[in-house]
Amino acid sequence: MDDQATKKIFWDEWQHEAMAAGVAAPLAKLGWEVLRAHRQNRWGKDFLGAEDDGPLMLAMCLEDPAGTELFFIENLYPYDTALIDATRAKLGLQ
pLDDT of residue 4: 59
Per-residue pLDDT tens over the stretch 37-84 = 998 888 888 888 888 899 999 999 999 999 999 999 999 999 999 999
Segment 10-20 mean pLDDT: 94
Concatenated DSSP letters of 40-53:
HHT--TTSTT-GGG
Number of domains in the chain: 1
Segment 20-32 mean pLDDT: 97
Cα separation values, 56 from 60, 67, 82, 83, Å? 6, 14, 27, 24
Rounded to whole angstroms, the Cα distance separating 85 from 94 reads 8
Range of the domain at 72: 3-91
pTM reported for the whole predicted model: 0.86
